[in-house]
Structure 1
């Protein structure tokens, strides 16, 4: 029996609830979600949209829940995931996640499902281009089998590279960094053979990752826009003592370790 289409399974209200849950989880464990001004996505209009991200961390799944709602709220996100992993979290099928089986038959099924998703108005496909976890410093950036075929099933689509990174600067909690690269029209990719097409996608994603790394190395939050706020300071008795001490001196309490680093 064929698996129901992710278009039929997706539940917008359930997605909204889990977005709230993931956002709350983010606020408890991360400092901020930051993006450089050049890294915001360009509007693709009503054309199909394919977002191809690197895959450095477990936190990428949280990024996939936060970024679309804040930056592309008029579209519904669909995400492929390894079928064995998805089996552990069946509720995610109601969020637009669909399974991918290994092997050639799985690749064919993935492309068929992706084609149906991208043909539906107001949708977008997000996926980790490497198909596996890969450190941001590893080169070359991996491109999973089937990624280079996506322009064939959606020749009118816009492909957006997305770089993700996670950094510890001066605070206890890490920051999530994200940046989109320049759009790649699928029609331009189709003009290349599959090998050259894969290399063009790798080049675009690598370039975006390298540019985000250069921003991260400055360790300057002022170079970024805060897209989502997280927790600040140490918390608990230590911050309570600091708060009282600040009030005693007639100063405003700043829970951050490095003063003046909050941007927005």
Structure 2
């Protein structure tokens, strides 16, 4: 049943492939549109918005499968879409028989041609470039663990290079691991600063919790003077300990520490 503007409800059924992990999955978007072309355009707009404002999608490539046209009354009853049967091949039934006569799956491409010529269907949407442009929080560390700390950069290579240059390490001495994408509110400030160490406020915006840590080796005044060595942060359930060059030197000298 169309509304006064002639629009009906479409359920867009999509597959995605993660560009970095090769993880595969499916999702649906419900939109109001007058035809399949308009439904597809609105789905793309929504994916653009989600990619810009959240990190839900990440670097994924999305493929469209079907746009199921469904009446409002039947949608209210609940419509089963993307029914999956697992076996040697993953089989989809976009609109399995469920007593909803009259609804149908519509396609942007020729289904029979696609099945005969695998790989001919172009991606519906890609979030790879949007994800790559975002600023992210990385954890950087080296084998000596003297200066381990967070770095804000667009990618792991940039974070690693910043850490090595700023802390005086040789190329390839550091490792960088993604912690999270910076929240939308932090993106503009990061764009102005470029690669940098995050402020406490930025870490808190990323969900960080600063944990109490007071080393008992008598060297805390020296740590304070050097400005490092005692911060411990928990983000998303993982605990990160700041590099402690003072404690490392004490241990190398065989002096007692709290470890």
TM-score, normalised on structure 1? 0.23
TM-score using structure 2 length: 0.23
When you count strand as a share of all residues, which structure comes out higher? Answer: 2
Give the helix-richer structure, 1 or 2.
1
Higher relative contact order (CA 8 A, sep 6+): 1
Q: Which has the larger radius of gyration?
A: 2
